[in-house]
Structure 1
Amino acid sequence: MTVLATRSLVRRRGARTVLDGIDVAFAGGQLSAIVGPNGAGKTTLLRQLAGLDPPDGGEATLDGARVDRLGAAVRSRRIAYLPQSAAVYWPLLGRDLVALGRLPHGADLSRPLSPTDTAAIERALARVGSTSLAGRRIDELSQGERARLALARVLATEADVILADEPVANLDPAYALEAMTLLRAEAARGVCVVVCLHDLGLTARFADHVVLLVAGRMQASGAAAAVLQPDVIDRAYGVGFRTVTIDGVAQPVAWTYRGQNFSG
Protein backbone atom coordinates (compact mmCIF):
# COMPACT_ATOMS: atom_id res chain seq x y z
CA MET A 1 0.00 0.00 0.00
CA THR A 2 1.29 3.43 -0.97
CA VAL A 3 2.12 5.68 1.98
CA LEU A 4 2.96 9.37 1.62
CA ALA A 5 4.23 10.83 4.87
CA THR A 6 6.03 13.70 6.53
CA ARG A 7 8.35 13.71 9.54
CA SER A 8 9.12 16.90 11.48
CA LEU A 9 8.52 18.83 8.26
CA VAL A 10 9.47 22.52 8.33
CA ARG A 11 9.10 25.11 5.59
CA ARG A 12 10.05 28.76 5.96
CA ARG A 13 9.45 31.80 3.82
CA GLY A 14 12.01 34.36 4.83
CA ALA A 15 11.75 34.83 8.57
CA ARG A 16 8.27 33.31 8.69
CA THR A 17 7.72 29.62 9.44
CA VAL A 18 4.95 28.41 7.14
CA LEU A 19 5.01 24.77 8.26
CA ASP A 20 6.23 23.89 11.72
CA GLY A 21 7.06 20.27 12.54
CA ILE A 22 4.37 18.45 10.56
CA ASP A 23 4.12 14.69 11.23
CA VAL A 24 1.38 13.02 9.21
CA ALA A 25 0.78 10.02 6.94
CA PHE A 26 -1.55 9.61 3.98
CA ALA A 27 -2.44 6.09 2.84
CA GLY A 28 -3.43 4.59 -0.47
CA GLY A 29 -7.10 3.71 -0.67
CA GLN A 30 -8.12 6.84 1.22
CA LEU A 31 -9.23 10.32 0.28
CA SER A 32 -7.48 12.66 2.70
CA ALA A 33 -8.43 16.33 3.02
CA ILE A 34 -6.18 19.11 4.30
CA VAL A 35 -8.33 21.87 5.79
CA GLY A 36 -7.77 25.05 7.75
CA PRO A 37 -8.26 28.82 7.56
CA ASN A 38 -6.57 30.99 4.97
CA GLY A 39 -2.82 31.13 5.49
CA ALA A 40 -2.74 27.86 7.42
CA GLY A 41 -0.14 26.31 5.10
CA LYS A 42 -2.36 23.93 3.12
CA THR A 43 -0.90 24.64 -0.32
CA THR A 44 2.62 24.72 1.09
CA LEU A 45 2.13 21.25 2.58
CA LEU A 46 0.75 19.91 -0.68
CA ARG A 47 3.76 21.28 -2.60
CA GLN A 48 6.08 19.61 -0.11
CA LEU A 49 4.29 16.31 -0.61
CA ALA A 50 4.70 16.75 -4.38
CA GLY A 51 8.42 17.44 -4.04
CA LEU A 52 8.05 20.82 -5.70
CA ASP A 53 9.84 22.77 -2.95
CA PRO A 54 12.73 21.68 -0.73
CA PRO A 55 12.00 21.41 3.01
CA ASP A 56 13.85 23.58 5.49
CA GLY A 57 13.74 20.77 8.01
CA GLY A 58 12.42 17.24 8.27
CA GLU A 59 11.24 15.33 5.22
CA ALA A 60 8.39 14.12 3.05
CA THR A 61 8.60 10.48 1.97
CA LEU A 62 6.86 8.20 -0.51
CA ASP A 63 7.02 4.57 0.59
CA GLY A 64 10.03 5.46 2.72
CA ALA A 65 12.02 7.34 0.04
CA ARG A 66 12.46 11.09 0.33
CA VAL A 67 10.21 12.74 -2.23
CA ASP A 68 12.64 15.58 -2.95
CA ARG A 69 15.37 13.03 -3.76
CA LEU A 70 13.34 10.92 -6.16
CA GLY A 71 14.35 11.42 -9.76
CA ALA A 72 12.05 13.76 -11.67
CA ALA A 73 10.96 10.95 -13.99
CA VAL A 74 10.02 8.63 -11.13
CA ARG A 75 8.30 11.38 -9.16
CA SER A 76 6.23 12.56 -12.13
CA ARG A 77 5.02 9.01 -12.82
CA ARG A 78 4.10 8.28 -9.21
CA ILE A 79 2.70 11.66 -8.13
CA ALA A 80 0.12 13.60 -10.16
CA TYR A 81 -0.29 17.21 -8.99
CA LEU A 82 -3.30 19.41 -9.76
CA PRO A 83 -2.62 23.06 -8.84
CA GLN A 84 -5.37 25.35 -7.63
CA SER A 85 -5.45 27.35 -10.83
CA ALA A 86 -3.87 26.52 -14.15
CA ALA A 87 -4.03 29.46 -16.51
CA VAL A 88 -4.35 28.68 -20.20
CA TYR A 89 -2.22 30.80 -22.53
CA TRP A 90 -2.42 28.86 -25.78
CA PRO A 91 -5.26 27.22 -27.74
CA LEU A 92 -4.62 23.55 -26.97
CA LEU A 93 -7.29 21.06 -27.86
CA GLY A 94 -8.87 19.26 -24.95
CA ARG A 95 -7.30 15.94 -25.92
CA ASP A 96 -3.84 17.55 -26.08
CA LEU A 97 -4.22 18.95 -22.58
CA VAL A 98 -5.14 15.52 -21.22
CA ALA A 99 -2.25 13.99 -23.19
CA LEU A 100 0.18 16.01 -21.06
CA GLY A 101 -0.56 13.48 -18.35
CA ARG A 102 1.25 10.86 -20.42
CA LEU A 103 4.53 12.78 -20.66
CA PRO A 104 5.92 11.04 -17.55
CA HIS A 105 5.45 7.75 -19.38
CA GLY A 106 7.53 8.87 -22.35
CA ALA A 107 4.79 10.13 -24.66
CA ASP A 108 6.04 12.46 -27.40
CA LEU A 109 3.25 14.82 -28.39
CA SER A 110 5.04 15.70 -31.62
CA ARG A 111 4.45 12.13 -32.84
CA PRO A 112 1.48 9.77 -33.00
CA LEU A 113 0.76 8.42 -29.53
CA SER A 114 1.16 4.77 -28.67
CA PRO A 115 -1.97 2.63 -28.25
CA THR A 116 -1.28 2.53 -24.49
CA ASP A 117 -1.14 6.32 -24.20
CA THR A 118 -4.18 6.78 -26.42
CA ALA A 119 -6.19 4.32 -24.35
CA ALA A 120 -5.22 6.07 -21.09
CA ILE A 121 -6.28 9.45 -22.51
CA GLU A 122 -9.61 8.12 -23.76
CA ARG A 123 -10.29 6.44 -20.40
CA ALA A 124 -9.55 9.67 -18.54
CA LEU A 125 -11.79 11.72 -20.83
CA ALA A 126 -14.61 9.23 -20.42
CA ARG A 127 -14.29 9.14 -16.64
CA VAL A 128 -14.79 12.90 -16.37
CA GLY A 129 -17.56 12.88 -18.95
CA SER A 130 -15.58 15.04 -21.36
CA THR A 131 -15.12 12.94 -24.48
CA SER A 132 -17.10 15.60 -26.37
CA LEU A 133 -14.53 18.23 -25.33
CA ALA A 134 -11.55 16.36 -26.79
CA GLY A 135 -11.59 18.26 -30.09
CA ARG A 136 -12.44 21.71 -28.69
CA ARG A 137 -10.01 24.51 -27.87
CA ILE A 138 -9.59 24.90 -24.13
CA ASP A 139 -9.44 28.70 -24.34
CA GLU A 140 -13.04 28.58 -25.60
CA LEU A 141 -14.36 26.38 -22.80
CA SER A 142 -16.08 27.33 -19.56
CA GLN A 143 -14.23 27.22 -16.27
CA GLY A 144 -16.04 24.04 -15.28
CA GLU A 145 -15.19 22.35 -18.58
CA ARG A 146 -11.52 23.28 -18.19
CA ALA A 147 -11.58 21.91 -14.65
CA ARG A 148 -12.87 18.60 -15.97
CA LEU A 149 -10.05 18.39 -18.51
CA ALA A 150 -7.46 19.34 -15.89
CA LEU A 151 -8.71 16.48 -13.73
CA ALA A 152 -8.63 14.17 -16.75
CA ARG A 153 -4.96 15.09 -17.28
CA VAL A 154 -4.23 13.95 -13.73
CA LEU A 155 -6.16 10.71 -14.21
CA ALA A 156 -4.32 10.01 -17.47
CA THR A 157 -1.04 9.89 -15.56
CA GLU A 158 -2.31 6.78 -13.74
CA ALA A 159 -0.19 7.73 -10.73
CA ASP A 160 -0.09 6.10 -7.29
CA VAL A 161 -0.71 9.50 -5.68
CA ILE A 162 -3.03 12.36 -6.64
CA LEU A 163 -2.49 15.74 -4.97
CA ALA A 164 -5.21 18.30 -5.76
CA ASP A 165 -5.19 21.89 -4.49
CA GLU A 166 -8.74 23.23 -4.16
CA PRO A 167 -10.08 21.10 -7.04
CA VAL A 168 -13.61 22.48 -6.56
CA ALA A 169 -12.73 26.17 -6.11
CA ASN A 170 -15.08 28.45 -8.06
CA LEU A 171 -17.05 25.52 -9.47
CA ASP A 172 -20.81 25.28 -9.34
CA PRO A 173 -22.32 22.56 -7.11
CA ALA A 174 -22.76 20.03 -9.94
CA TYR A 175 -19.10 20.24 -11.03
CA ALA A 176 -17.91 20.23 -7.42
CA LEU A 177 -19.85 17.07 -6.58
CA GLU A 178 -18.69 15.44 -9.80
CA ALA A 179 -15.02 16.22 -9.10
CA MET A 180 -15.17 14.94 -5.53
CA THR A 181 -17.02 11.80 -6.62
CA LEU A 182 -14.30 11.09 -9.19
CA LEU A 183 -11.51 11.63 -6.66
CA ARG A 184 -13.33 9.40 -4.17
CA ALA A 185 -13.53 6.70 -6.84
CA GLU A 186 -9.77 6.96 -7.40
CA ALA A 187 -9.20 6.40 -3.70
CA ALA A 188 -11.49 3.37 -3.84
CA ARG A 189 -9.20 1.99 -6.57
CA GLY A 190 -6.26 2.17 -4.14
CA VAL A 191 -4.81 5.55 -5.11
CA CYS A 192 -3.53 7.84 -2.35
CA VAL A 193 -5.64 10.98 -2.86
CA VAL A 194 -4.87 14.17 -0.92
CA VAL A 195 -6.86 17.35 -1.51
CA CYS A 196 -6.84 20.83 -0.01
CA LEU A 197 -10.38 22.01 0.64
CA HIS A 198 -12.19 25.03 2.05
CA ASP A 199 -15.63 23.44 1.88
CA LEU A 200 -16.09 21.56 5.15
CA GLY A 201 -19.39 20.13 3.98
CA LEU A 202 -17.71 18.37 1.06
CA THR A 203 -14.91 17.35 3.40
CA ALA A 204 -17.36 15.70 5.78
CA ARG A 205 -19.12 13.92 2.95
CA PHE A 206 -16.17 12.62 0.93
CA ALA A 207 -13.02 12.47 3.10
CA ASP A 208 -11.90 9.40 5.00
CA HIS A 209 -9.07 11.24 6.73
CA VAL A 210 -8.79 14.94 7.61
CA VAL A 211 -5.76 17.00 8.58
CA LEU A 212 -6.49 20.36 10.22
CA LEU A 213 -3.78 23.03 9.92
CA VAL A 214 -3.70 26.33 11.77
CA ALA A 215 -0.85 28.83 11.30
CA GLY A 216 1.46 26.14 9.95
CA ARG A 217 0.87 23.64 12.73
CA MET A 218 -1.20 20.50 12.72
CA GLN A 219 -4.08 20.87 15.15
CA ALA A 220 -5.78 17.55 14.46
CA SER A 221 -5.54 14.48 12.22
CA GLY A 222 -7.91 11.56 11.99
CA ALA A 223 -11.30 10.43 10.78
CA ALA A 224 -13.45 13.20 9.32
CA ALA A 225 -16.17 12.78 11.95
CA ALA A 226 -13.64 13.27 14.76
CA VAL A 227 -11.71 16.22 13.31
CA LEU A 228 -14.80 18.16 12.17
CA GLN A 229 -16.33 18.30 15.62
CA PRO A 230 -17.47 21.86 16.50
CA ASP A 231 -15.23 22.06 19.57
CA VAL A 232 -12.23 21.34 17.32
CA ILE A 233 -12.97 23.54 14.32
CA ASP A 234 -14.47 26.43 16.32
CA ARG A 235 -11.02 27.26 17.69
CA ALA A 236 -9.31 26.78 14.34
CA TYR A 237 -11.59 29.06 12.33
CA GLY A 238 -12.59 31.55 15.01
CA VAL A 239 -16.32 31.02 14.43
CA GLY A 240 -19.08 28.98 16.02
CA PHE A 241 -20.15 25.90 14.07
CA ARG A 242 -23.43 24.03 14.22
CA THR A 243 -23.87 20.47 12.96
CA VAL A 244 -26.61 19.32 10.61
CA THR A 245 -26.90 15.61 9.84
CA ILE A 246 -27.85 14.72 6.25
CA ASP A 247 -28.11 11.08 5.15
CA GLY A 248 -26.21 10.09 8.26
CA VAL A 249 -23.29 12.48 7.60
CA ALA A 250 -22.70 15.27 10.12
CA GLN A 251 -22.21 18.54 8.20
CA PRO A 252 -20.49 21.45 9.98
CA VAL A 253 -22.11 24.83 9.25
CA ALA A 254 -20.42 28.12 10.21
CA TRP A 255 -23.05 29.95 12.25
CA THR A 256 -21.70 32.63 14.56
CA TYR A 257 -18.81 35.08 14.34
CA ARG A 258 -17.58 37.05 17.32
CA GLY A 259 -20.87 36.41 19.06
CA GLN A 260 -23.01 37.67 16.17
CA ASN A 261 -25.72 35.23 15.13
CA PHE A 262 -26.36 35.14 11.39
CA SER A 263 -29.79 33.47 11.61
CA GLY A 264 -31.41 36.76 10.53
Structure 2
Amino acid sequence: MSLLATRGLVCRRDGRAVLDGVGLSFAAGEIVAIVGPNGAGKTTLLRHLAGLEEPREGTVELAGRPLAELTVGARARRIAYLPQSAAVYWPLLGRDLVALGRLPHGADLGRPLSAGDADAIARALERVDGAAFAERAIDTLSQGERARLMLGRARATEADVLLADEPVASLDPSYALDAMEILRGEARRGACVVVSLHDLGLAARYAERIVVLVAGRVVAEGPPREALRPEVIDAAYGVSFRSVTVDGIVQPIAWRHPS
Protein backbone atom coordinates (compact mmCIF):
# COMPACT_ATOMS: atom_id res chain seq x y z
CA MET A 1 0.00 0.00 0.00
CA SER A 2 1.41 3.39 -0.99
CA LEU A 3 2.11 6.08 1.57
CA LEU A 4 3.04 8.76 -0.96
CA ALA A 5 1.78 8.95 -4.54
CA THR A 6 1.61 11.22 -7.56
CA ARG A 7 -1.19 11.12 -10.11
CA GLY A 8 -0.79 12.74 -13.52
CA LEU A 9 1.76 15.22 -12.15
CA VAL A 10 2.60 18.04 -14.56
CA CYS A 11 4.96 20.98 -14.12
CA ARG A 12 5.69 23.47 -16.89
CA ARG A 13 8.29 26.21 -16.98
CA ASP A 14 8.79 28.64 -19.87
CA GLY A 15 6.43 26.55 -21.97
CA ARG A 16 8.41 23.36 -21.36
CA ALA A 17 7.14 20.34 -19.48
CA VAL A 18 9.55 19.68 -16.61
CA LEU A 19 7.28 16.91 -15.34
CA ASP A 20 4.95 15.35 -17.84
CA GLY A 21 2.16 13.16 -16.47
CA VAL A 22 4.20 11.49 -13.72
CA GLY A 23 2.31 8.80 -11.83
CA LEU A 24 4.24 7.01 -9.08
CA SER A 25 3.66 5.43 -5.69
CA PHE A 26 6.02 4.99 -2.76
CA ALA A 27 5.51 2.64 0.18
CA ALA A 28 6.61 2.76 3.79
CA GLY A 29 9.74 0.76 4.49
CA GLU A 30 11.34 1.01 1.05
CA ILE A 31 14.04 3.04 -0.65
CA VAL A 32 13.18 4.29 -4.13
CA ALA A 33 15.96 5.89 -6.16
CA ILE A 34 15.14 8.52 -8.79
CA VAL A 35 17.78 8.56 -11.52
CA GLY A 36 18.18 10.22 -14.86
CA PRO A 37 20.38 12.70 -16.73
CA ASN A 38 20.81 16.35 -15.75
CA GLY A 39 17.60 18.25 -16.40
CA ALA A 40 15.43 15.14 -16.22
CA GLY A 41 13.20 16.61 -13.49
CA LYS A 42 14.51 14.76 -10.43
CA THR A 43 14.77 17.79 -8.14
CA THR A 44 11.45 19.16 -9.37
CA LEU A 45 9.77 15.85 -8.61
CA LEU A 46 11.17 15.78 -5.07
CA ARG A 47 10.07 19.37 -4.45
CA HIS A 48 6.55 18.46 -5.52
CA LEU A 49 6.61 15.40 -3.25
CA ALA A 50 7.65 17.68 -0.38
CA GLY A 51 4.82 20.12 -1.11
CA LEU A 52 7.27 22.92 -1.93
CA GLU A 53 5.85 23.36 -5.43
CA GLU A 54 2.23 23.19 -6.55
CA PRO A 55 1.58 20.97 -9.58
CA ARG A 56 0.27 22.57 -12.74
CA GLU A 57 -1.89 19.49 -13.17
CA GLY A 58 -2.36 16.31 -11.16
CA THR A 59 -1.99 15.68 -7.45
CA VAL A 60 0.41 14.51 -4.78
CA GLU A 61 -1.19 12.37 -2.06
CA LEU A 62 0.02 11.43 1.39
CA ALA A 63 -1.76 8.42 2.90
CA GLY A 64 -4.53 8.86 0.35
CA ARG A 65 -5.10 12.55 1.11
CA PRO A 66 -4.12 15.37 -1.26
CA LEU A 67 -0.97 16.98 0.06
CA ALA A 68 -2.41 20.42 -0.71
CA GLU A 69 -5.06 19.86 2.00
CA LEU A 70 -2.47 19.55 4.77
CA THR A 71 -1.23 22.56 6.68
CA VAL A 72 2.40 23.57 6.30
CA GLY A 73 3.07 22.33 9.83
CA ALA A 74 1.45 18.96 9.23
CA ARG A 75 3.50 18.46 6.05
CA ALA A 76 6.72 19.42 7.87
CA ARG A 77 6.04 16.85 10.59
CA ARG A 78 5.32 14.04 8.16
CA ILE A 79 7.77 14.80 5.34
CA ALA A 80 11.47 15.54 5.90
CA TYR A 81 13.19 17.07 2.88
CA LEU A 82 16.95 17.29 2.45
CA PRO A 83 17.69 19.57 -0.52
CA GLN A 84 20.63 19.23 -2.83
CA SER A 85 23.78 20.87 -1.44
CA ALA A 86 21.94 21.94 1.71
CA ALA A 87 23.93 24.74 3.30
CA VAL A 88 24.03 26.47 6.69
CA TYR A 89 25.28 30.04 6.73
CA TRP A 90 26.19 30.49 10.38
CA PRO A 91 28.46 28.47 12.70
CA LEU A 92 25.90 26.38 14.58
CA LEU A 93 27.06 23.57 16.79
CA GLY A 94 26.40 20.15 15.33
CA ARG A 95 23.81 19.38 18.01
CA ASP A 96 21.93 22.61 17.26
CA LEU A 97 21.88 21.83 13.55
CA VAL A 98 20.30 18.44 14.24
CA ALA A 99 17.88 20.10 16.67
CA LEU A 100 16.41 22.11 13.78
CA GLY A 101 14.64 18.91 12.81
CA ARG A 102 12.41 19.34 15.88
CA LEU A 103 11.03 22.74 14.82
CA PRO A 104 7.99 21.20 13.08
CA HIS A 105 7.09 19.63 16.42
CA GLY A 106 7.05 22.99 18.18
CA ALA A 107 10.54 22.96 19.69
CA ASP A 108 11.79 26.39 20.75
CA LEU A 109 15.56 26.28 20.47
CA GLY A 110 15.84 29.42 22.58
CA ARG A 111 14.47 27.52 25.59
CA PRO A 112 15.25 24.21 27.30
CA LEU A 113 14.13 21.31 25.14
CA SER A 114 11.38 18.96 26.18
CA ALA A 115 12.36 15.42 27.09
CA GLY A 116 10.78 14.18 23.85
CA ASP A 117 12.73 16.62 21.70
CA ALA A 118 16.00 15.89 23.52
CA ASP A 119 15.51 12.16 23.08
CA ALA A 120 14.74 12.56 19.37
CA ILE A 121 17.91 14.61 18.86
CA ALA A 122 20.01 12.09 20.78
CA ARG A 123 18.59 9.23 18.70
CA ALA A 124 19.28 11.12 15.49
CA LEU A 125 22.89 11.84 16.48
CA GLU A 126 23.38 8.20 17.38
CA ARG A 127 21.81 7.01 14.14
CA VAL A 128 24.16 9.11 11.99
CA ASP A 129 27.17 8.46 14.25
CA GLY A 130 27.39 12.20 14.83
CA ALA A 131 28.07 12.39 18.57
CA ALA A 132 31.73 13.28 17.94
CA PHE A 133 30.60 16.40 16.02
CA ALA A 134 27.77 17.45 18.35
CA GLU A 135 29.75 20.14 20.18
CA ARG A 136 31.75 21.36 17.20
CA ALA A 137 30.87 24.33 15.00
CA ILE A 138 29.77 23.08 11.61
CA ASP A 139 32.10 25.45 9.78
CA THR A 140 35.00 23.45 11.26
CA LEU A 141 33.71 20.16 9.85
CA SER A 142 34.47 18.44 6.58
CA GLN A 143 31.83 18.22 3.88
CA GLY A 144 31.23 14.58 4.73
CA GLU A 145 30.81 15.36 8.43
CA ARG A 146 28.36 18.15 7.65
CA ALA A 147 26.42 15.85 5.34
CA ARG A 148 26.11 13.34 8.17
CA LEU A 149 24.64 16.02 10.44
CA MET A 150 22.26 17.19 7.71
CA LEU A 151 20.92 13.66 7.56
CA GLY A 152 20.70 13.77 11.34
CA ARG A 153 18.54 16.88 11.14
CA ALA A 154 16.16 15.10 8.77
CA ARG A 155 16.20 12.03 11.02
CA ALA A 156 15.34 14.13 14.09
CA THR A 157 12.04 15.09 12.48
CA GLU A 158 11.00 11.41 12.78
CA ALA A 159 8.87 11.90 9.68
CA ASP A 160 7.00 9.18 7.81
CA VAL A 161 8.65 10.26 4.56
CA LEU A 162 12.30 11.20 3.95
CA LEU A 163 13.15 12.87 0.65
CA ALA A 164 16.85 13.35 -0.14
CA ASP A 165 18.07 15.18 -3.24
CA GLU A 166 21.56 14.02 -4.23
CA PRO A 167 22.69 13.42 -0.62
CA VAL A 168 26.00 11.87 -1.71
CA ALA A 169 27.02 14.50 -4.25
CA SER A 170 30.69 15.47 -3.84
CA LEU A 171 31.22 12.98 -1.00
CA ASP A 172 34.12 10.55 -1.02
CA PRO A 173 33.21 6.86 -1.31
CA SER A 174 33.35 6.18 2.42
CA TYR A 175 30.98 8.99 3.33
CA ALA A 176 28.71 8.17 0.38
CA LEU A 177 28.34 4.59 1.60
CA ASP A 178 27.73 5.84 5.15
CA ALA A 179 24.97 8.16 3.90
CA MET A 180 23.27 5.36 1.99
CA GLU A 181 23.46 3.09 5.03
CA ILE A 182 21.76 5.80 7.09
CA LEU A 183 18.98 6.03 4.50
CA ARG A 184 18.66 2.25 4.48
CA GLY A 185 18.28 2.37 8.26
CA GLU A 186 15.47 4.89 7.91
CA ALA A 187 13.63 2.57 5.55
CA ARG A 188 14.10 -0.31 7.97
CA ARG A 189 12.49 1.70 10.77
CA GLY A 190 9.48 2.05 8.47
CA ALA A 191 10.05 5.36 6.71
CA CYS A 192 9.31 5.89 3.03
CA VAL A 193 12.66 6.98 1.57
CA VAL A 194 12.91 8.61 -1.87
CA VAL A 195 16.38 9.65 -2.99
CA SER A 196 17.69 11.15 -6.21
CA LEU A 197 21.08 9.85 -7.31
CA HIS A 198 23.54 10.23 -10.15
CA ASP A 199 25.50 7.17 -9.04
CA LEU A 200 23.71 4.23 -10.68
CA GLY A 201 25.89 1.77 -8.78
CA LEU A 202 24.66 3.08 -5.43
CA ALA A 203 21.09 3.10 -6.72
CA ALA A 204 21.40 -0.55 -7.77
CA ARG A 205 22.94 -1.52 -4.45
CA TYR A 206 20.59 0.24 -2.04
CA ALA A 207 17.22 0.81 -3.72
CA GLU A 208 14.40 -1.71 -3.82
CA ARG A 209 12.99 0.17 -6.80
CA ILE A 210 14.46 2.58 -9.30
CA VAL A 211 12.61 5.20 -11.33
CA VAL A 212 14.34 6.44 -14.49
CA LEU A 213 13.28 9.95 -15.50
CA VAL A 214 14.05 11.48 -18.88
CA ALA A 215 12.74 14.91 -19.90
CA GLY A 216 10.14 14.79 -17.15
CA ARG A 217 8.74 11.38 -18.07
CA VAL A 218 9.09 8.02 -16.39
CA VAL A 219 10.78 5.76 -18.94
CA ALA A 220 11.39 2.81 -16.60
CA GLU A 221 10.38 1.76 -13.10
CA GLY A 222 11.05 -1.42 -11.17
CA PRO A 223 13.72 -3.43 -9.40
CA PRO A 224 17.30 -2.41 -10.29
CA ARG A 225 17.87 -5.26 -12.77
CA GLU A 226 14.75 -4.25 -14.66
CA ALA A 227 14.96 -0.46 -14.48
CA LEU A 228 18.69 -0.34 -15.30
CA ARG A 229 18.58 -2.57 -18.37
CA PRO A 230 21.29 -1.48 -20.84
CA GLU A 231 18.81 -0.47 -23.52
CA VAL A 232 17.04 1.80 -21.01
CA ILE A 233 20.02 3.61 -19.56
CA ASP A 234 21.94 3.77 -22.86
CA ALA A 235 19.04 5.72 -24.35
CA ALA A 236 18.46 7.79 -21.20
CA TYR A 237 22.04 8.99 -20.81
CA GLY A 238 23.18 8.92 -24.43
CA VAL A 239 26.20 6.76 -23.68
CA SER A 240 26.88 3.04 -23.70
CA PHE A 241 26.97 1.18 -20.41
CA ARG A 242 28.70 -2.01 -19.45
CA SER A 243 27.87 -3.96 -16.33
CA VAL A 244 29.75 -5.95 -13.75
CA THR A 245 28.13 -8.06 -11.06
CA VAL A 246 29.39 -7.75 -7.49
CA ASP A 247 27.83 -9.93 -4.77
CA GLY A 248 24.92 -10.57 -7.09
CA ILE A 249 24.26 -6.85 -7.68
CA VAL A 250 24.62 -5.50 -11.21
CA GLN A 251 26.74 -2.34 -11.33
CA PRO A 252 26.36 -0.25 -14.52
CA ILE A 253 29.50 1.53 -15.73
CA ALA A 254 29.37 4.26 -18.38
CA TRP A 255 31.70 3.35 -21.22
CA ARG A 256 32.89 5.19 -24.28
CA HIS A 257 35.48 3.79 -26.63
CA PRO A 258 38.45 6.09 -27.31
CA SER A 259 37.97 8.00 -30.53
Q: Tell me which residue corresponds to 1:23.
A: 23
Alignment of 1:68-217 (within 5 A): 68-217=68-217
1:15 shift after superposition: 1.3
Partner deviation per Cα, 1:69-101 (whole Å, 9 max, x = no partner):
211111000000000112221111111100000
Give, in whole Å, the separation in 1 of the partners of 2:67 and 2:12: 18
Whether contact under 8 Å (1:52, 1:68) holds in the other structure is no
Partner deviation per Cα, 1:139-179 (whole Å, 9 max, x = no partner):
12111111010000000000000000000000000000000
Give, in whole Å, the separation in 1 of the partners of 2:33 and 2:69: 25
Q: How many positions carry a matched residue from both structures?
A: 259
Q: Tell me which residue corresponds to 2:239.
A: 239
Give, in whole Å, the separation in 1 of the partners of 2:176 and 2:249: 18
Provide the secondary structure at the position in 1 that maps to 2:159.
Answer: coil
Whether contact under 8 Å (2:2, 2:25) holds in the other structure is no
> Normalising to structure 2: TM-score of the pair?
0.98
Give, in whole Å, the separation in 2 of the partners of 1:188 and 1:68: 28
Provide the secondary structure at the position in 1 that maps to 2:186.
Answer: helix
Partner deviation per Cα, 1:91-129 (whole Å, 9 max, x = no partner):
111111000000111111010001111111011111111
Which amino acid counterpart does residue 192 of structure 2 have in structure 1?
C
1:222 shift after superposition: 1.0
- Structure 1 window deviating more from structure 2 (51-60 vs 182-191): it is 182-191
| Percent of aligned positions that are identical | 65
Whether contact under 8 Å (1:94, 1:134) holds in the other structure is yes
- Residues 1:10 and 2:10 aligned together: yes
Whether contact under 8 Å (1:84, 1:166) holds in the other structure is yes
Give, in whole Å, the separation in 2 of the partners of 1:127 and 1:237: 35
1:68 shift after superposition: 2.5
- Residues 1:223 and 2:239 aligned together: no
After superposition, the CA RMSD in angstroms is 1.1
Alignment of 1:25-64 (within 5 A): 25-64=25-64
Partner deviation per Cα, 1:196-231 (whole Å, 9 max, x = no partner):
000000000000011100011110111111001111
Whether contact under 8 Å (1:93, 1:136) holds in the other structure is yes
Provide the secondary structure at the position in 2 that maps to 1:193.
Answer: strand
Which amino acid counterpart does residue 28 of structure 1 have in structure 2?
A
Unaligned runs of 5+ in 1: none
Give, in whole Å, the separation in 2 of the partners of 1:111 and 1:128: 25
Which amino acid counterpart does residue 181 of structure 1 have in structure 2?
E
1:185 shift after superposition: 1.4
Provide the secondary structure at the position in 1 that maps to 2:45.
Answer: helix
Partner deviation per Cα, 1:180-205 (whole Å, 9 max, x = no partner):
01101111221100000000000000
Runs of 4+ in 1 over 3 A off after TM superposition: none
Provide the secondary structure at the position in 2 that maps to 1:37.
Answer: coil
1:2 shift after superposition: 5.4
Provide the secondary structure at the position in 2 that maps to 1:195.
Answer: strand
